[in-house]
Copies of this chain bind each other. A is one copy, B any other.
Amino acid sequence: MEVKTIPNIEPIMQKISAFKNPLYNRDFLLTWEQEETTLRILLDLVEVLELIHKHGRRVSVFPHGLAVSIFRDKSTRTRFSFASAASLLGLALQELDETKTQIAHGETVRETATMISFLTQAIGVRDDMFIHEGHEYMQEVGHALDESFLEGILPQRPAVINLQCDRDHPTQSLADLKHLINHFGGIEELRGKKLAMTWAYSPSYGKPLSVPQGIIGLMTRFGMEVTLAHPQGYELLPDIIDIAKKQAQQSGGAFHQTQSMQEAFSDADVVYPKSWAPFNVMEERSQILKGGGGEAALNQLEKRCLQQNANYQDWECNQEKMALTRKGAVLYLHCLPADISGVSCRQGEVSADIFNRYRLMTYHEASHKPYVIAAMILLTRFSDPAKVLRHCL
């Protein structure tokens, strides 16, 4: 049975059909845990799902069931992306938030994970507040689900989908990758392209490290020349730096680090200027929050962090910096919302003129996220997603 009625879909479906899926009944937590083929097939599934939606076709692959979201943080973009993916696949969204219930670590996680899962197919978790914890929490949920599935308590093994943790932000980085592929005309076209993942100034504090970590942990796998730039004190988790280095070597790309935004921008094909918190601030903040430590301590930390940031107000993506890039062809990326100088703040990550030039392209970039999430659910919940999709179309 061919899916003839949607143009261009059949060759992609055949690639997916031929794939032996290692993700079935597992979780999607970190891109660097996945084989490269898995990521390529996931991107193919994104393409297929986008075509299906564009042609108004029904793909409710699940006869019923829940998609549960757990957010420790406020969120619009990710929340709506997850809701959209759920609707696309035929799942009902149910949010578990800490204002409605209490979710905690230890015994309670194990029990709650099962109690919310009797008819659940996917659990999307965003837990990026506490460094050294978000990823561990997701693993803990996964282990609880494994046990309850093996014991026959759950008739299906819901997949944990990482909607952002302290280590990685795979739905963002894969949406970004899909955007790069579309922009440059294919995944092979990324080879040798220079991507500058750089810190940028923002008058805010406490932004997680998972976006830059996700980008260097993913883009180094496809032959890109990735340069990471940030002022001293804004380091990322060292083991993810190691992963980026190793991957760059294996893929024939490169991974460089610098403390100069200018150097990163020089001859770049892609720039990703984005603020994040100083590493030690993240650690202290986690300690304070975990200790239930007072407002006073947090305010002090915030003050200190903002002072530290203020030393680097010239880390702005603007006309002058963009002049250093591979002119005319450079692509600006952002996970949104950006801190735009003179618009959302006095002085921010990007000047208004540059942002405006790329504004609609950042919307295109964001548009892939719902499909990335849906593709993750398809790969974790079905051993042969192509077969299931064909059956539905």
Task: Identify the stretch in A59-67, A193-201, A304-312, A324-332 within 8 Å (CB) of chain B at 4 or more residues.
Answer: A59-67
- CB <8 Å contact, B84 and A364: no
Report how far A370 CA is from B94 CA in the complex, Å.
14
B344 and A108 within 8 A (CB) = yes
A155: chain B residues at CB < 8 Å are: 53-54
In this assembly, does A174 line the interface, its C-beta being within 8 Å of a C-beta of chain B? Answer: no
Q: Are B337 and A80 in contact (CB under 8 A)?
A: no
Q: Which chain B residue has the least Cβ–Cβ distance from A116?
A: B80
**A390 interfacial contact with B, CB 8 Å:** no
Whether A337 and B84, one on each chain, are in contact in the complex, defined by CB atoms closer than 8 angstroms, is no
Contact A94 B83, CB 8 Å, known A101-B75, A155-B53: yes
Give which listed residue, B80, B118, B366, contacts A84 with CB less than 8 A: B118
Q: Does A292 contact B (CB under 8 A)?
A: no
Structural contact, A119 and B87, CB atoms closer than 8 A = yes
Q: Which residue of B lies closest to A90 (CB)?
A: B64
A294 to B96, CA, bound (A): 30
| B114 in contact with A363 (CB, 8 Å) | yes
Q: Judging by beta carbons under 8 Å apart, are A64 and B54 in contact?
A: no
Contact yes or no, A94 B114, CB < 8 A: no
SS class of chain A's interface: helix, strand, loop or mixed? mixed
Residues of B within 8 A of A12 (CB): none
Contact across chains for A74 and B100 when beta carbons are under 8 A apart: yes
The chain B residue sitting closest to A103, CB to CB, is B76
Residues of A281-338 at the interface with B, using a CB-CB cut-off of 8 Å, are 336-337
- Asked if residues B86 and A101 are in contact (CB atoms below 8 Å), the reply is no
Judging by beta carbons under 8 Å apart, are B94 and A66 in contact? no
Q: How long is the Cα–Cα vector from A115 to B360 in the complex, in angstroms? A: 11
- Least distance between A279 CB and chain B CB atoms (Å): 27
With both beta carbons as reference points, the residue of chain B lying nearest to A50 in the complex is identified as B155
Contact partners of A79 in chain B: CB under 8 A? 94, 100-101
| Cross-chain contact A343 with B65 (CB below 8 angstroms) | no
Cβ–Cβ < 8 Å partners of A92 in chain B: 83, 86-87, 92-93
Q: Which residues of B contact A75 (CB under 8 A)?
A: 101
Q: Which residues of B contact A101 (CB under 8 A)?
A: 74-76, 79
**CB closest residue in chain B, given A363:** B153
Contact status B90-A93, CB under 8 Å: no
- Nearest residue in B to A95 (C-beta to C-beta)? B100
- Is A57 interfacial (CB 8 A cutoff)? yes
Q: Which residues of B contact A90 (CB under 8 A)?
A: 64
Task: Check if A148 is an interface residue, CB within 8 A of chain B.
Answer: yes
Most B CB within 10 A of own CB, among A53, A57, A81 = A53
- In the complex, besides A93-B94, A107-B343, A119-B370, 13 extra interface pairs with C-beta distance below 8 angstroms are A64-B89, A66-B80, A74-B102, A79-B101, A80-B94, A84-B118, A87-B92, A111-B337, A114-B366, A118-B366, A147-B360, A153-B364, A154-B367
30 example contacts (A-B, Cβ-Cβ < 8 A) are as follows: A56-B63, A57-B63, A58-B63, A59-B63, A64-B90, A65-B84, A66-B87, A74-B100, A74-B102, A75-B101, A76-B112, A76-B115, A76-B116, A77-B115, A79-B94, A80-B115, A80-B118, A81-B118, A83-B92, A83-B94, A87-B91, A87-B119, A88-B119, A106-B343, A111-B336, A111-B363, A114-B363, A115-B363, A118-B366, A153-B363
